[in-house]
Structure 1
Amino acid sequence: MKERITVKTSPSAAGPGNRISSVRRATVFGVSAAVLIAPFIIAVPAALAAVPTFPDNIIVFPDRDFITIEGYQDRIGQIATVEVTRPGVGVIGSAESVVSAGDIAFEINHPGGACWGAGTTLKVTPDIRPGDLVSMKFGATAAGDTTTQDVYVNATPVLAADGVTVTITGFIGDGANENQIEQRIVEPAFRNTAVARREVRAVPGPLTANVGYSSSLEYGIAGSNTFTATYVFDSQDAANIAAAAGTGVRVMSWQLEDAAANRQGLTIAEFGELGGPGMGGCPNGPLQSGPAGATDVIAATVADSLKITWTPAKAIPGTPAITGYRVHAVAQTVVNGERAEFGKRIDSAAAKTTTISGLNPAETYDVFLVSVSSAGETFPAVHAIPVTDIVAPLTTASPQSGSFRTAQQLTLSSNEAAAEIYYTTDGSDVFLSGGTLSTVAVLYTQPLNIDATTTVNFAAVDPSGNISTQGQVMLTITNEPLPSTPTFSSPAIAGTGSMTLNWAAANPGAPELTVTGYSVQAYTSDGLVSGPARTTAGDVTTLVFDGLAPDTTYQFTVTASNANGAGAESAKSDPVQALGALVANAGADQAITRAVTATTVVLDGSRSTSTETTYLWEQVLTGLTDPDRVTLTGPTTVNPTFSLPLFATPMTNNPLTFLLTVTSGSAVRTDEVRITPIASQITVTGARWKTRDFRVDGISSSVGGTVTIHRDGPTGPVIGRAPITAAAAPQTGGVFTYRLRTSISNPGSVWIDSTLGGVVGPVAVTAG
């Protein structure tokens, strides 16, 4: 069954009697990234920021290595690039396609869509697996990504003896959300039964009635990573259709469900479907593809031999490793329908040259080179026609001869990629008379570190034996001490069109030397130098860098100098925005200790612009039901307050974030501040039960407050409460004891929370 399904319905929408189209479209009040409801803001969780927002979506069919891109109608006619990235491996598949009008922008590896490798150099159909990241971009602009979910059906449907019950088992990985799973059986024949539609569905929860059937989806014991979907049909005919559905059996998992129940970042795992090319003409999968070929292949004639050189091949990510090469020379002359062939097998993936000897100097040969892996050989082979080269290569060196205060990296290069460069450092020639290589000459493989005065002679020889003119560089290294590299001692302080910078004093380099000054350079957010550097005289370690563009972000470096010159440039400072005429400053982040009674917290916007401005403070929340929501008093003043409540599950000790918006006319500036509650640390030292005696003992890092003991989870029924009292000397902190001497069943495990913010659980209760 090769049909495609797009899904936009929530599990709650598939209740009894509902008939929902497989494609659901909705408008979320015109808001895509965040819903503003004063006096707080609902923020999209950072971990899901890259998942496309409805109506855009990325849907992954891992069993068929197939991708559907929905929406992106503001990009019609533009070229999008889709990449599949495997953690620890890199990009294992890519393709380009043009966004078209309609619900489906384009598809990859599905009839009517693009092949993997279309418009890119990675000509392979990736074997998409759980954890692979599927991302899309337009040019260099990211347009969303989806992580392939680890879910699948692991067996064909099972028809029970009653003739109407069908069960399907499957797997759900630890990273998948159990509330965002749906199992389906897709079979058009259902339309001719009481079901009257092409599919049936099971969502998490107990058996629920639907049209023509009831269904449930339940998870196995914790840690088993299993699920079971159960269908009870109204007729045996429908049950038989379900049991024989084959590849119509699938499970879906999505990363995000928005307020309108749109499923974003969707994975649809289809039981029994095969991966690889989804249509004719597309490239093979990674295990069916021969290895990539070597590049820069040159075959040079040397007497009765051919010297072949190449740049080693790089395996396509996700394909078997390259283990070596096979190279052979085929004579062009045909004798009795045959041509002579000579070759070599090289068992090294890093090899880059070989010589085939014993050839006929009067014959012309074609040379073919293939890479070798467990998947086979390169097809077609890389073809090279031998050439007789009489031109010597040219060699260069960088830097040129000169005097330097510090060690230098000497780079040697040749205009012929296949040429080998040799060098000496004792002043002797590289090649002796007659073209013989000196016994002290060294093959150049990487830049040379020259940390003392040295004369380097160098020359290159190409595959045909042509030797370059010998070059020479004389590098004088004075090793005159320079100052150490300074480091910024504190973040830059933003002013109006300026920045105050402070750094730690540099070591002058030697006892007899002093730092003669510092040079500070500004950089814009794109890494470009911004204007001339500013300097200080002597060992002055602070500078007001003015003349900056207002409301623009900058980074800075600092360099120290002494009598010998300038030292190394420091790392760039953290980015800081220069202030403009209008400033929003929500104050410094704070840490607030929870108290036994509610704590009043004062927010401070006094460093913001105060003339002809208005203020609005809002709490940034995760949703309408965020348990950490507080009420701001005076949200339009400079110093609003709120009461940090006593701790009670499901409240957390997460930081509370507040957004200050300052407005003057049409100009608006914003800033955020974080208030972090500091929780008491509580530990249970004993939890014991026996008939008519239940006891919990523990310690607390703080004195005061009350602990609450729950059963059946952190928000479960309350067993009881106990005060936190001061511990007996010499111990510090607090202790608590709760004891119940009535008939109570063993709760098995308990959860404890403190009004001072501490939480612990589950704690196993010992019997006896």
Structure 2
Amino acid sequence: MSSSAQPSPGRRLLRLGLTVVLSAAVGAIATTGGASALAAGVPAAPDNLLVFPDRDFITVEGYQDHIGEAATIEVTRPGVGIVGSAQGVVAEGDVAFEVNHPGGYCWGAGTGLKVTPDIRPGDVASIRFGDTAGGDTRVQDGFVTEDAVQNGTTVTVTGHLGAGVNPANIEQRIIEPELTATAVGRRDVRALPGPLTPAPKGGYQSGLSVNGDVFTATYVFDDAAVAHIAANASLGERLLSWEVTDLIGNRQGVTIAEFGEPGGPGMGGCPNGPLASGPVGPTDVVAAKVPGGVKLTWTPALAIPGTPAITGYRATAVGQTMTGNEQVEVGRRITGQSARGTTITGLSDAETYDVEIASVSSVGETFPRVSVRAVTDTTPPTVAASRSSGSYAVPQTVTLTANEAGSEIYYTADGTDPLIADMLSPTAIHYAAPILVAADTTLRFVAFDPSNNVSVVGSRTYTITNTPTPDAPAFGSPTIGTGQVTLRWTSGDPSITGYGVQAYDAAGATVGALAETTATSLVVTGLTADTPYFFTVQAKNVNGWGTPSAKLGPLTPQGAVVANAGPDRTGVVRNTRVALDGAGSTPGATYAWTQLATGTTNPIGATDPDRVALTGANTLSPSFTLPFYRYPMTNRPLTFQLTVTTAAGSRSDTALVVPAVDQVAIGTASWKAGDFRVTGAGSVVGATILIHSGSLAGPVLTSTGVVAAPPLAGGTFDVRLRNGAAPAARPATIWIESNRGGIAGPFTVN
């Protein structure tokens, strides 16, 4: 499949969280740390990154608030850099997309890193949307080390656990579809940390122990024949390990190590792995005709992180004239990754040559090679210096650049000419990196292009006074008044003799002249009320003005009428009273609070499900009760606008109230005639759960409550409808909603 292949929307891979935990035992959640907060960077449920290091593929789950957006997946190796990357578009469904798995994207899709990474423990897989990070998973150092061993009805699986793996956050599985026809009744058997425990569906008991860096999973089957099936499983042994478990038992940052699975491309058309890929070729290749040959220059190639080092280059000139079925080919082998050029000699001046160059490594050469046409060039290059001549208070770094690729620059720093009678002088230095000018210096420089055309000699003279100007002061907290702003700043430089403040409008244009003061504060007056401004501050000493600070703002001076709706509120619990606060507004005015449709300037509709009833809407401090959640309500912020009116006019300001949303998850959902049961978990004990058929807009099948399940910080729910109370037909899917705002679904009913 090509790298642009689209993943299959909605395809389910694994449900790694509550299906396992709730069906096994609530206590299993406690062994993972239960209430511990998500580690920094790890995605929060329902978003997740699942890494399969043995097959070098990644599953992206969730991210449904980014449907239709392109996401970038990167695998970063500490001390090495990015060893694999791909872009994919988030699709609707539990699986947003996959990389290096049939139905998904190839590594390198949408990026320039055309290699399938050899994912290893310690690597970090991350997702981002543009420049916005979406979470990451650190690949865990845990895996099965040998095939399962059978001894009668007992099967054992052993493996390795690295020092960074939490031994409570692991689960071992044996995958074999034939087990579904046995007393096990499912396609796999599983072992969690702890003593032997009967499986929920019966057929075996299992447990898992850890001794140092070795784990042992033990399965005791009711039947030796079933033990034989498990010990010889066709799909093999796996170890699941994860970074954290959230409050409701979701496993986040998951690594799934699959014993015996090969790595590399997961489907046809995907790039080779790092040990089967030829190196990237050099760039900026220029081939110039010289007497009897071709002079080649290039920018050295850099090996893709995780691939073998580049050891050199192979350059070949191929004559265009065909004699019989042959063309003349003359080449050079160049040793060293840092080589920047060569000259192929022994060529005919009457022939036209195509030139091919490839990087060389232990796994082969660049394919296809980089091809260029040898050309005759009579135009001399030009050289530019990044700093103009002048006096500078501190040492300067000067960069020299030539306008022709492949040109070589030489310079002197003692004022002598780098050329003597068209030959390089003995004092000329080959330019390879920016030049530090720390004292009074005259630089002279010249460039040779690949055809040996010579530039005009350039010259720059620098005076370094070593008397620096001050660094920019640091702004403190400003005070906003009527038509004015009070600015404050700090600086510890004793050489400072004064400060300057510059105002800017929203478009970045200066407003007024630089305002100077010897104090560390300034009241900037004469500003237009209700207009945003930005400000910089800079310091001066005997050497002059230093660099201005970063802009502070926007700061908006008040007018004759001030409307202040107070701070935004976040994490407001539903079914609690919320008091708005307009105390910072003009006193003695007329006040009117209005709830707006969030994201607009329009009053919220009378039938909008997010509308609340304001008490005291014409006072400075109205209040309302944030209601329990009930679809079609949303969890969007509520927007409240305060309008203040006096004889001088009216002004408005808004404040947001953001509801706190609990987490809920469905563990199991099963139906048979006269019997319907749903289990799950929630992060708030006492929350009421509604179970819908088909969608959140579908009929409510039943309701239940979240009850405490110590030692969990949250709780669980378990509701069962029998006989006439059960749905007459099996619902295909269900959704759940909590009166505290959490929702989950769709979930397939078995």
What TM-score comes out, normalization by structure 2 length?
Answer: 0.66
Q: 1:280 is matched with which residue: 257, 262, 268?
A: 268
- Pairing 1:59-98 to 2, within 5 Å after superposition: 59-98=50-89
C-alpha distance in structure 1 between counterparts of 2:192 and 2:543, whole Å:
75
- Closer, same or farther in 2 for the Cα pair 1:478/1:345, shift >3 Å? closer
Whether 1:158 aligns to 2:149 is yes
Judge which range, 342-351 or 448-457, deviates more: 448-457
Q: Distance in 2 between matches of 1:94 and 1:668?
A: 41
Q: Which amino acid aligns with 1:485?
A: D
Change in CA separation of 1:409 and 1:200 when aligned onto 2, cut-off 3 Å: closer
Q: Deviations over 1:188-241 (max 9, x none)?
A: 1012211122111111221111234333333333xx122211111111221111
Report the alpha carbon displacement of residue 575 of structure 1 after superposing the two structures with TM. 13
User: Per-residue displacement from partner, 1:380-428 (whole Å, max 9, x unpaired)?
Assistant: 2212221111121122333334455554433322210211122334544
Report the residue type matching 1:283 in the other structure: P
Distance, in Å, in 2 between the alignment partners of 1:43 and 1:552 is 44
Residues 1:220 and 2:210 are matched in the alignment: yes
Structure 2 vs 1, CA of residues 581 and 548 (structure 1 numbering), >3 Å: closer, same or farther?
farther
1:325 partner amino acid = Y
Q: Does 1:170 align with 2:159?
A: yes
In the alignment, is the contact (CA less than 8 A) between 2:486 and 2:521 conserved in 1?
A: no
What's the CA shift for 1:484?
Answer: 3.8
Equivalent residues in 2 for 1:375-524 (5 A)? 375-433=363-421, 435-475=422-462, 477=463, 479=465, 481-485=467-471, 488=474, 492=477, 498=485, 500-504=487-491, 506-508=493-495, 515-520=496-501
CA contact (8 A) 2:386 2:399 kept: yes
Q: 1:282 to 1:499 in 2, by over 3 A?
A: farther
- The aligned residue for residue 182 of structure 1 is 171
> Closer, same or farther in 2 for the Cα pair 1:360/1:14, shift >3 Å?
same
- What secondary structure is seen at the aligned counterpart in 1 of 2:451? coil
CA–CA distance in structure 1, aligned partners of residues 434 and 43 of structure 2: 44
- Conserved in 1, the CA contact under 8 Å of 2:75 and 2:82? yes
In the alignment, the residues of structure 1 paired with residue 295 and residue 552 of structure 2 have an alpha-carbon distance, to the nearest angstrom, of: 53
1:47 matched to 2:39: yes
Verify: 1:124 aligned to 2:115, yes or no: yes
Query: Is residue 10–residue 263 contact of structure 1 (8 Å, CA) maintained in 2?
Result: no
Q: Which amino acid aligns with 2:66?
A: R
Per-residue deviation, residues 578-598 of structure 1 (Å, max 9, x unmatched): 999466699xxxxxxxxxxxx
Q: Corresponding residue for 2:719?
A: none
Task: Check 1:540–1:422 CA distance in 2 against 1; reply closer, same or farther (3 A cut).
Answer: same
Between the aligned partners of 1:371 and 1:578, the Cα distance in structure 2 is 62
Q: What's the CA shift string for 1:706-729, capped at 9, x where partnerless?
A: xxxxxxxxxxxxxxxxxxxxxxxx
Aligned positions of 1:97-136 closer than 5 A: 97-136=88-127
Question: Kindly tell me: are residues 323 and 50 of structure 1, through their superposed partners in 2, closer, same or farther at Cα, counting changes over 3 Å?
Answer: same
CA contact (8 A) 1:480 1:564 kept: no
Post-superposition offset of 1:531: 5.8
Between 420-429 and 347-356, the greater mean CA deviation after superposition: 420-429
Letter in 2 for 1:479: T
Partners in 2 of 1:474 and 1:529 — Cα distance?
Answer: 34
Query: Structure 1 151/564 Cα, relative in aligned 2: closer, same or farther at 3 Å?
Result: closer
CA distance in 1, matches of 2:532, 2:174: 56
3-state SS in 1 of match to 2:128: strand
Residue identity in the other structure for 1:186: I
State the shift of 1:75 in Å: 2.8
Counterparts of residues 335-374 of structure 1 (less than 5 Å): 335=323, 337-374=325-362
Q: Which whole-Å CA distance do the structure 2 matches of 1:474 and 1:262 have between them?
A: 66
For structure 1, which segment, 254-263 or 285-294, has the greater mean C-alpha deviation from structure 2 after superposition? 254-263
Secondary structure at 2:21's aligned position in 1?
helix
The residue aligned with 1:602 is: none
Q: Secondary structure at the match of 1:64?
A: coil
2 CA distance for matches of 1:331 and 1:115? Answer: 38
Structure 1 position 473, deviation (Å): 3.2
Asked if the contact 1:207–1:214 (Cα under 8 Å) also holds between the matched residues in 2, the reply is no
Q: 1:263 maps to what in 2?
A: 251
Letter in 1 for 2:453: N
Aligned runs of 1:656-671 on 2, under 5 Å?
Answer: 668=655
C-alpha distance in structure 2 between counterparts of 1:150 and 1:561, whole Å: 56
Kindly indicate whether the alpha-carbon contact (under 8 Å) linking 1:552 and 1:578 is maintained by their aligned counterparts in 2.
yes
Confirm or deny: 8 A CA contact 1:52 1:265 kept in the other structure. no
| Contact 2:391 2:465 survives alignment (8 Å) | no
Post-superposition CA distance 1:566-620 (Å, at most 9, x none): 135568999999999466699xxxxxxxxxxxxxxxxxxx9x969999xxxxxxx
d(CA) in 2 for partners of 1:191 and 1:523? Answer: 72
Structure 1 unpaired stretches of 5+: 18-41, 509-514, 587-605, 614-662, 672-768
Tell whether the 8 Å contact from 1:217 to 1:227 is kept in structure 2 after alignment.
no
Give the letter aligned to residue 47 of structure 1.
Answer: A
* Contact 1:16-1:209 within 8 A present in 2 as well: no
- Cα distance in 1 for partners of 2:528, 2:243 equals 43
* Counterparts in 2 of 1:5 and 1:482: CA distance versus 1, 3 Å: closer
Q: In the alignment, which of 220, 227, 231 is matched to residue 219 of structure 2?
A: 231
- Aligned-residue Cα RMSD (Å) equals 4.2
Matching residue's letter, 2:173: R
- Separation in structure 2 between the aligned mates of residue 576 and residue 155 of structure 1, nearest angstrom: 65
Q: Which amino acid aligns with 2:78?
A: P
Deviations 1:167-195 (A, max 9, x none): 11122233333333211111110122111
Relative distance call for 1:468 and 1:171 in structure 2 (3 A) is same
Distance 1:250 1:425, change over 3 A: closer
Cα distance in 2 for residues equivalent to 1:178 and 1:578: 58
Matched pairs, number: 565
Contact 2:54 2:263 in 1 (8 A): yes
- Structure 1 residues 50 and 5 mapped into 2: Cα distance closer, same or farther (>3 Å)? closer
| d(CA) in 1 for partners of 2:441, 2:25 | 86
Q: Which residue of the partner structure matches residue 559 of structure 1?
A: 538
Q: Is this contact kept in 1: 2:288–2:374, CA < 8 A?
A: yes
Q: Secondary structure at the match of 2:424?
A: coil
1:456 partner amino acid:
L
In structure 2, the CA distance between the partners of 1:321 and 1:51, relative to structure 1 (3 Å rule), is same
Between the aligned partners of 2:171 and 2:137, the Cα distance in structure 1 is 18
Q: 2:24 aligns with which of 15, 18, 25?
A: 15
Hey, what does 1:304 align to over in structure 2? 292
CA shift in 2, pair 1:220/1:464, >3 Å = same
Cα distance change on mapping 1:266 and 1:482 into 2, 3 Å: closer
Match for 1:208: what amino acid? Answer: T
Corresponding position of 1:699 = none
Structure 1 residue 451, shift from structure 2 partner: 4.4
Matched AA of 1:384 = V
1:191 equivalent to 2:177? Answer no
2:504·2:511 contact (CA, 8 Å) conserved in 1?
A: no
Higher relative contact order structure (alpha carbons within 8 Å, sequence separation ≥ 6): 2
Aligned equivalents of 1:548 and 1:118: distance in 2?
52
Distance 1:44 1:243, change over 3 A: closer
Q: Alignment partner of 1:439: what SS? A: coil
Greater alpha carbon shift after TM alignment, 256-265 vs 111-120? 256-265
Equivalents in 2 of 1:444, 1:215: separation in Å?
Answer: 72
Q: Which runs of 5+ in 2 are unaligned?
A: 1-11, 27-33, 570-580, 593-639, 643-652, 659-750
CA contact (8 A) 1:534 1:545 kept: no
User: C-alpha separation between the residues in 1 aligned to 2:428 and 2:455?
Assistant: 15
Say if 1:492 and 1:576, in contact at 8 Å, map to a contact too. Answer: no
The one-letter code of the counterpart of 1:503 is T
